[in-house]
Homo-oligomer: A and B are copies of this chain.
Amino acid sequence: MIANLSITEENYIKAIYHLQQTDGNVTTNEVAEMLHTKAASVTDMLKKLNAKNIVNYAKYQGFTLSDDGRKIALSIVRKHRLWEYFLVEKLQFGWDEVHEVAEELEHISSLKLVEKLDAFLEYPKFDPHGDPIPDVNGKMVYQPQINLTDLPPSELAEVTAVGSQSTELLELLKHKKIAIGTKIIIKKKFLFDNSIEIKLQNQAAFTISQQLAQALFVKKTPNE
């Protein structure tokens, strides 16, 4: 029953999916802000998606994706992350410049294309930002990761994901030479401004802001 959806509808579904990851219940204004549109437009679209049983919607009460809606969202996320992986691994894009291109590619409809692309890429489990790629059934690997601010000092860890895809963040990470897979260790935490002194492999220690630390997720790695 996966109806033919317009690109616009798909973008709404994806936005709702991402918002409910953190929020649970999603509101009209949140979606409007994420899609750079107005609340009235969101209401219009919600009525349409509700009629198609893609969202559970009750006037003024917020909304969530239905089971069908979630399946659709996962298939879009799958396509987005596979294309990002392709762009970085095969076409040599920088990991900070693939998001926008993948926003277009994720709407290519051919199912066969997605499966063949997945095979060509040898079934990657994570995209270049460290986010898990859903498989054809929507299942994805759960990666136990913690925020860098919760990592105890002196414990070796590896960057697994970043908190957003904003150009500003990615530009800063590039400058600091921090990427997915970078080994990191906390030297000292400063209580005054919650800044953190960190050290990367083969580099002198340096200090990063609380905001940056909060945007980094790591997994602890066994000290070899």
Q: Does A202 interact with chain B (Cβ within 8 Å)?
A: no
A120 within 8 A of B: yes
In the complex, A119 Cα to B93 Cα: how many Å? 12
Size band of the A side of the interface? 10 to 19
State in angstroms the CA–CA spacing of A93 and B113 once bound together: 9
User: What residues of B have a CB within 8 angstroms of the CB of A87 in the complex?
Assistant: 113, 116
Interface residue A59 (Cβ < 8 Å from any Cβ of B): no
C-alpha spacing A90/B101, complex, angstroms: 20
A–B Cβ pairs within 8 angstroms, 15 of them: A90-B120, A91-B113, A91-B117, A91-B119, A91-B120, A92-B116, A92-B120, A93-B112, A93-B116, A97-B112, A101-B108, A101-B112, A104-B109, A104-B110, A105-B108
For the complex of A and B, 8 pairs with smallest distance between CB atoms: A91-B116, A101-B110, A104-B108, A91-B120, A101-B113, A90-B120, A105-B108, A91-B117
